Amino acid sequence: MNTPSDSSLGREVRYPDQYDAALLFPIPRLAARSEIGIDEAALPFVGHDRWHAYELSWLDAGGLPQVTVATFQVPCTSPNLIESKSFKLYLNSLNGKVFASPQQVQACLERDLGQCAGAPVTVSFQLPPLVQGGAAQSIDGQQLQIDCYGPPQADYLAADTANVVEEVLTSALLKSNCPVTGQPDWASVDIAYRGPAIDRTGLLRYLVSFRNHAEFHEQCVERIFADLSARCAPQWLSVHARYTRRGGLDINPVRCSPGAALPAASRDLRQ
């Protein structure tokens, strides 16, 4: 079984000058899900890991460099997540490869990424729109005394069972750390739900308690979904995190209750 310590994370590596699909490094989702208490045989959510690439290039048949942006969508039902540094190295390995057409590039990406994830991955040469404001209500303006920055404290979460609401809460204060390198991962997170009104003070304290926590982006979002489900008992729930980019690549995990509408794909200003 691949573990983060087996990957290129935290190691000095030479950026590739030749195409190499073997650079992609899969990490099984099973161990982290078991730790959170999520049964892989009966996932409590649907969703995907949506990646945005801002630095994708290859050579056309005449050797002329081509550049574009891309969106990659990895289903949350895939047995593996794709480790981010290996993803960046792989994309850079395309820089000197000749393709006859953009369609050939797309087919190559879908094949290689699908093999790494263990499930079909969709690729499109476009990005979702930037969003500002909208219906989401920020919880970040509260004046709080906080002294806990990890590990995540699910006990902070509570909800008012006498007050059933449907709303979208947002925070730009989600931060965690790479479990291998310790580098910071910054994100905004939208929490949409219907159910007992979530206590906003407790929610903000909970999100800030990820600040020194070491876990991959996808696993943080699944932890948030699982903790909110257990502590606040929403009728339905959606958690959508938009992480800032590193090395020309950002990730946007989405987890949503089965039967509820997935949030629209979007980017925020920090991306």
Q: How many residues does the chain have?
A: 271
| Binding site, annotated residues | 82-85, 217-218, 246-247
Cα gap 239→170, rounded to integer Å:
10
Catalytic residue among 49, 112, 185, 190: 185
- In contact, 159 and 203? CB cutoff 8 Å: no
Catalytic residue among 76, 112, 116, 178: 178
DSSP class of residue 151 equals S
Instruction: Enter the tokens of residue 262.
Output: 């997935």
| Binding site, annotated residues for substrate | 82-84, 217-218
Determine which helix (DSSP H) or strand (DSSP E) holds 223, and give its type and residue range.
helix 217-232
The verdict on whether 116 is a catalytic residue reads no
Cα gap 233→262, rounded to integer Å:
19
Cα→Cα distances 188→105, 117, 173, 201, Å: 31, 25, 6, 17
| Binding site, annotated residues for NADPH | 84-85, 246-247
Cα gap 79→27, rounded to integer Å:
8
Question: In the chain, how many H helices and how many E strands?
Answer: 5, 10
Asked if omega into 129 is within 30° of 0 (cis), the reply is no
- The values of phi and psi at residue 203, to 5°, are -65, -45
The verdict on whether 185 is a catalytic residue reads yes
Q: Which residues are catalytically annotated?
A: 178, 185
